[in-house]
Amino acid sequence: MKALIVDDDRVLADVLAFTLRREGFEIVLAHDGATALQRFAEDAPDLVVLDVNLPRLDGFAVCQQMRAQADTPIILLTVRGEEDDIVRGLSLGADDYMTKPFSPRQLVARVHAVLRRSRAGQRAAPEVQRVGDLLLDASRREIRLAREAEAGEPVSLTALESRLLSYLMLNAGHVLTADAIIDHVWGAAGADRDMLRQLVRRLRAKIKELGDSAGDPSGLPIIETIPGIGYGLTRG
């Protein structure tokens, strides 16, 4: 497998490269955002480890452009610990994030976790799922109305939003614990309940946007919060 490591700190980039080579990865390096996008297009890596603070083009912009091209797993590296930055990175399509400093063992664990989730997500669900009047097209990462006469414009999802909705739809009518959802969407070491709440909030807003565009949200399912337990998808 091939990993693209993007960091303007060349010493840290070499440490990351050494760590992942020991795990069997072929390594591609880039030290600024523009070069990262070029290497991403040319080398088609299986994984991207991406620093947020980059010259020429920051990691948020790089992440957004990469995610528009492919579903390649992306781990963000940042010295920032603010919630807004974390939420921004995840909303742009990153699969996980790590705050510097971190240990090589932690990086390896996160890498294998996002790759497992990526492979499991490719196998677990059909490309198109339906609950009530809501259709999820996982291959396009978009939702649309199942009512043909009111189909309207689809609403785009990030990779995490699509993964969460797919899991809820597969288990529609059942309560899922927060821990089970986190494990499925991010992996046990990849997120916390605050991040899950933020993801649920964004997904609810997009389902509402779809219903508002049709003027009739009555047939759309609802993501319910079950206090102290987790979430469930119920038919509208």
What confidence score (pLDDT) does residue 171 get?
Answer: 86
What confidence score (pLDDT) does residue 228 get?
Answer: 86
- Dump strand ranges (E) for the chain: 2-6, 26-30, 47-51, 74-78, 96-99, 128-131, 134-137, 142-145, 155-156, 175-177, 222-226, 230-234
Residue 129 phi, psi (nearest 5): -120, 150
Q: Which parts of the chain have pLDDT scores under 70?
A: 80-82, 119-126, 148-152, 187-190, 236
- Domains of the chain are 2-122 (3.40.50.2300), 125-234 (1.10.10.10)
What confidence score (pLDDT) does residue 80 get?
Answer: 67
What confidence score (pLDDT) does residue 45 get?
Answer: 93
What confidence score (pLDDT) does residue 149 get?
Answer: 46
Give me the torsion for CA of 48, 63, 128, 130, rounded to 10°. Answer: 130
What confidence score (pLDDT) does residue 84 get?
Answer: 74
Which of 169, 117, 113, 110 lies closest to 138, judged by CA? 169
The alpha carbon of 62 is separated from its chain's Cα centroid by a whole number of angstroms, namely: 15
CB-based contacts of 81: which residues, under 8 Å, 6+ apart? Answer: 99
pTM check: above 0.75: no
What confidence score (pLDDT) does residue 211 get?
Answer: 86
